[in-house]
Amino acid sequence: MASIDIESVGKVYTGDVRAVTDINLTIQDGEFIVLVGPSGCGKSTLLRMLAGLETISEGNVKIGPRVVNQVEPADRDIAMVFQNYALYPHMTVRQNLEYGLKNRKTPKAEIDTRVAEAARMLEITQYLDRKPRALSGGQRQRVAMGRAIVRKPSVFLFDEPLSNLDAKLRVSMRGEIKRLQRRLGTTSIYVTHDQLEAMTLADRLVVLNGGKIEQVGSPLEVYHTPASTFVASFIGSPAMNLVKAECQGDKLTIGSAVLSLNGYMPTSGPVTVGLRAEDLHVVSGDEGMQFAVDYVEELGSQRLVHGLVGDQSITIALAGESEIPATMRIGIDPARLHFFAAEDGKRITTADRTAAAIDVPSPVPVG
């Protein structure tokens, strides 16, 4: 068990290629942190720096009270689960699990107990004498986790561990990882590009973009108050609609439609407005905005309707059974609008509005 302090950490490769810039993050003991971002955002590099597989160019990493910048991976008291599992193909499952313990001169009896325990926990006891090639993807994944667990490290590092599995298995393994982490209470850092995985696993999400932290927060915080247009478009599925609009007093102009903000005045002049697909709903009469339907994606429980408001594309989520005319009018509760500065995409917040938005975390699809 250990807390982790990441202090102004950066990574520069030879030739002045910068992968990670000024990361500051304090991770509590026992916390499940998910680093999420598109490919090339530096999340894996950051994880590998924590593991000791990449040198730390700038700043300090502390695991517990100790600065580990110069410490060998083996001595950092961490265990890592790799994307391709990295099981030793010439060893049986048992030998794979034992390898790390043997290298540390753990007594034989202790090794046997720990391997048996981990195998039972992961339900791989009957495969202990098989080679990895005789296992399915999900079983290999379990063995990779077992290899991390038997060591009883103070930190687990996961590098996209589920991305080689099929969709169904991924969902069930996701649940297992979460349960396991709760049960062991080990500080965990998990890297993924899948926002759904990030949302479901994390105690706290760290959204990375271009080597920098874009936002840190609990999944719901990040979902309901994205700090920038990048986070807004990355977290949540379908992605939040971002449209150009104009603010004048408490009136918001989107294309030809004018919405009243009921006295709320976030800014004046051009602004980027974020609208969650599930917050938009069909309205009658001449309220709201004119919406020209382009095409529909059927998800069974929902229909995602893609179309245009003015010349800006918007997606709305409607109930599975709803009628879809070629054009309709759509509206949104003004309290559920997100405002971002037009120039840098940062969220425009005022204290009362932030609070209001978090208070209503009911992601019920609106029909």
Tell me which residues touch another protein (CB under 8 A): 51-53, 72-74, 78-80, 82-84, 86, 88-90, 99-100, 103-104, 133, 147, 151
Give SS3 for 159.
Answer: strand
CB of 147 to another protein, least distance (A): 8
Q: Which amino acid appears at position 112 of this protein?
A: D
Counting every residue, how long is the chain? 367
Q: How far is the CB of 71 from another protein (least distance, A)?
A: 12
Q: Tell me which residue has tokens 């396991």.
A: 180
Q: How far is the CB of 73 from another protein (least distance, A)?
A: 5
Q: What is the DSSP string of 252-286?
A: EEETTEEEE-TT----SEEEEEEE-TTT-EEE-TT
Distance in Å, CB of 21 to another protein, minimum = 24
- DSSP 8-state secondary structure symbol assigned to residue 88: -
Which CB sits closer to another protein, 148 or 280? 148
In the complex, minimum distance from the CB of residue 106 to another protein, in angstroms, rounded to a whole number? 10
CA dihedral 107, 112, 118, 122 (to 10 degrees): 160
Question: Using CA atoms, how far apart are residues 85 and 303, in angstroms rounded to an integer?
Answer: 37
For tokens 């910048």, the residue is 69
CB of 60 to another protein, least distance (A): 20
How many C-beta atoms lie closer than 10 Å to residue 265's C-beta? 12
- Nearest residue (CB) to another protein, 57 versus 312: 57
Hey, what are 64's tokens?
């517990």
Instruction: CB nearer to another protein: give 187 or 209.
Output: 187
Residue nearer to another protein on the CB measure, 19 or 316: 19
Shortest CB 86 distance to another protein, Å: 4
Task: Compute the distance between CA of residue 360 and CA of residue 115 in angstroms, rounded to an integer.
Answer: 46
List CB contacts of 332: < 8 A, sequence separation 6 or more: 259, 275, 279, 280, 281, 288
Element (H, E) at 167: helix 167-184
- Number of helices followed by number of strands (H, E) in the chain: 9, 20
Alpha-carbon span 224 to 236, nearest angstrom: 10
Q: Which of 73, 320 has the CB closer to another protein? A: 73
Q: Which is nearer to another protein, 103 or 136 (CB)?
A: 103
Nearer to another protein, 15 or 300 (CB): 15
Rank residues 90 and 179 by Cβ distance to another protein and give the closer one. 90
Place of tokens 């005045």: 265
Closest by alpha carbon to 207, among 160, 167, 52, 199?
A: 199
Min CB(83)–another protein separation in Å: 8
Which lies closer to another protein via its Cβ, residue 57 or residue 106? Answer: 106
Residue among 166, 192, 78, 164 at smallest CA distance from 178: 192
Residue 252 to residue 245: CA distance in whole angstroms: 7
User: Least distance in Å: CB of 38 to another protein?
Assistant: 22
